[in-house]
Amino acid sequence: MNNKKDTKKNCPSANWRIKAGFTLIELMIVVTVIGILSAIAIPKFINMTRKSTEAATKGNLATLRSAISIYYSENEGTYPANTESAKAMEPTALYTANITYLQNTLIPKYVNRWPVCHVPPHHNKTDTVDEYSTFAQLDVTCDGEWAYIGNGDDTKFGHIFVECWHKDINDSYISGW
């Protein structure tokens, strides 16, 4: 009888199995954990890309404001102004679309190239500038481009900002940057 028991120990049987892989339950748990981590990470990644693009636009805005400030200092307290469009602009006109005198005045002495304004997901990239006669008469179309107050009588004269009435990722109005 002892011989029978010994052979039973040495031979594989139905009760004794060699583990050679993962069970279905183990694989399902791993897939579930990966799915949960992806559900958390992907929205964070999307917010980070939007946040970085907004930061780049804020940086470009700071560059333009610095260039205008340096221009103001070097030109005896005057901001860039288009005398021809100011004369042609009627008092009731709200704005002049897509001006170029601001770019021509600031490039290349104050900035190397005109920066892009990009406000995702609301607007595409643009480098255009609209000139407004007063801050109070802003265009409400929300074009997502640069806007400049070019009227010397307005208290915001020389101010440049992003023409967008949406909120950024921090719940602040983009036009208020």
Domain that holds residue 54: 20-176
Domain-embedded: residue 7: no
pLDDT tens for the chain, residues 1 to 177: 555 555 555 555 555 566 678 888 989 999 999 999 988 888 888 788 888 888 888 888 898 989 999 998 898 888 887 655 444 444 445 556 677 788 888 888 888 888 888 888 888 888 888 887 777 666 666 778 888 887 777 777 888 888 888 888 888 888 777
Domain-embedded: residue 13: no
Domain-embedded: residue 9: no
Rounded to two decimals, the pTM is 0.67
Domain-embedded: residue 8: no
Domain-embedded: residue 100: yes
Domain-embedded: residue 166: yes
Domain-embedded: residue 81: yes
Domain-embedded: residue 93: yes
Long-range interactions of 141-150: CB distance < 8 A, separation 24+: 142/166, 144/117, 144/118, 144/119, 145/117, 146/64, 146/117, 147/95, 147/175, 148/99, 148/102, 150/79, 150/80, 150/81, 150/82, 150/85, 150/86, 150/96, 150/99, 150/102
Number of domains in the chain: 1
